[in-house]
Amino acid sequence: MLSPFVELRRQLHQIPEPGFQEFKTQQLLLEQLSKLPQDRLTIRTWRTGILVYIKGLNPSKRFGYRADMDGLPITEETSLPFPSQHPGYMHACGHDFHMSIGMGVVTHFVTNPMQDDLVVLFQPAEEGPGGALPMLAAEELQDWMPDQMVALHIAPEYPVGTIAVRPEILFANTSELFIDLLGKGGHAAYPHQANDMIIAATLMVGQLQTIVSRNVNPLDSAVITIGKMEAGTKQNIIAEKARLEGTIRTLSAASMDKIKGRIEAVAAGIEASFECQVSIDWGSNYRQVYNAPALTLEFMDWLRGRDNVTLFECTEAMTGEDFGYFLEKIPGFMFWLGVDTPHGLHNAKLDPDERAIDVAIETITAYLRYKSS
């Protein structure tokens, strides 16, 4: 028999939706919540997100667990019997896991309350444009603000039963990057009468790749990835426009500022040499995920005494997470949950091991009960 939370994960897996369009996801979660005993439960919605309050027995503080909700624009290539029913979208970053674990935590505490209160936040739009910052500012959260936050992220590279974490920085600062190049289109046979934005954009991609290697201190990790490039309309027309879409990752805020300055300088150079216009949009920016040192070390010590999990002290990762905004305001931490699959995050074949769902629910509920006693 499948655990109800594995079953829920499979239902969620079939309905991945873009950020702030998680309508079916919200409805499914609300339906699940309505089946639970209601005496300790208060539910609020905010945009496509959900805030769930579970009253404790004799509360003196309020804990928070956050699960992100959105899917990614990826066409699923798994051979799962419950694939995405939304063409071109997939839960390829584990948010289906994060939500079903969140529901497992809610279900546990409505039937076995702890001393303290708990707020479980189902947060939209983690992949972009970022739901954490506006959710933190939402009226619906102000009188429910937790005193401590916990969140997790699935980790394909670790076996089931592994929890990987570290104090201080876990994930990088991020900035999206959208670059539009506007030149002059023309006939393929008359390049001297046009400004070809395919040539300008490809040169720009090459120049962007020199920034990390030449301008950033090698001891301070940074990444610039261009993940999408669009240009042109037909094989014999010189492209008037090109667009590059990417992301910047840095461990330090200073490197982020420096990289942005260098990108502007590269753009000015391309404008001068191609007599074109280059405009840059930094999209959404996420703060680093900074795990509160004392709480994280205490969690790690507590994990060492558990026999259903193995603790691994990991290094920082260049992934980003808008949970960093929660940790900027509220002490807490994020950890990696091992789900043992050869395919990485954002891969069309990602197939995390569902046994990790119960491991996570058990670990989070036991930890919160320990903290609440």
Ligand X SMILES: CC(=O)N[C@@H](CCC[C@H](N)C(=O)O)C(=O)O
Catalytic residue among 17, 127, 340, 354: 127
337 binds ligand X (CB under 6 A): no
Which segment (38-46, 289-297, 313-321, 357-365) binds ligand X by CB under 6 A?
A: 313-321
Residue 299 CB, nearest approach to ligand X (Å):
20
Cβ closer to ligand X: 128 or 156? 128
68 binds ligand X (CB under 6 A): no
128 binds ligand X (CB under 6 A): yes
Cβ closer to ligand X: 286 or 333? 286
Residue 179 CB, nearest approach to ligand X (Å):
14
> According to CB under 6 A, which residues from 148 to 187 bind ligand X?
153, 174, 176
Question: Residues 9, 79: contact at Cβ < 8 Å?
Answer: no
Q: Can 127 be counted among the known catalytic residues?
A: yes
Cβ closer to ligand X: 322 or 354? 322
Cβ closer to ligand X: 101 or 345? 345
93 binds ligand X (CB under 6 A): yes
**What is the layout of strands, in order, in the sheet containing 310-313?**
41-46, 49-54, 117-123, 62-68, 148-155, 332-338, 162-165, 310-313
Which segment (83-91, 213-221, 298-306, 315-323) binds ligand X by CB under 6 A?
A: 315-323
Residue 17 CB, nearest approach to ligand X (Å):
16
Residue 166 CB, nearest approach to ligand X (Å):
16
Binding-site residue numbers for Mn(2+) are: 93, 95, 127, 153, 346
- 320, 332, 338, 352: residue in contact with ligand X (rule CB under 6 A): 320
Cα atoms found within 13 Å of the Cα of residue 308, Cβ hemisphere only = 13
Q: At what angle do helices 293-304 and 355-372 cross, to 10 degrees?
A: 110
116 binds ligand X (CB under 6 A): no
Cβ closer to ligand X: 224 or 311? 224
Residue 318 CB, nearest approach to ligand X (Å):
8
Q: Can 321 be counted among the known catalytic residues?
A: no
Residue 43 CB, nearest approach to ligand X (Å):
27
247 binds ligand X (CB under 6 A): yes
Which segment (7-15, 34-42, 194-202, 319-327) binds ligand X by CB under 6 A?
A: 319-327
Question: Residues 197, 182: contact at Cβ < 8 Å?
Answer: yes
Catalytic residue among 17, 22, 68, 340: 68
Which segment (54-62, 230-238, 259-267, 316-324) binds ligand X by CB under 6 A?
A: 316-324
Instruction: Summarize as ranges the residues that interact with ligand X (CB under 6 A).
Output: 93, 127-128, 153, 174, 176, 247, 284, 286, 319-321, 345
* Active-site residue list: 68, 127
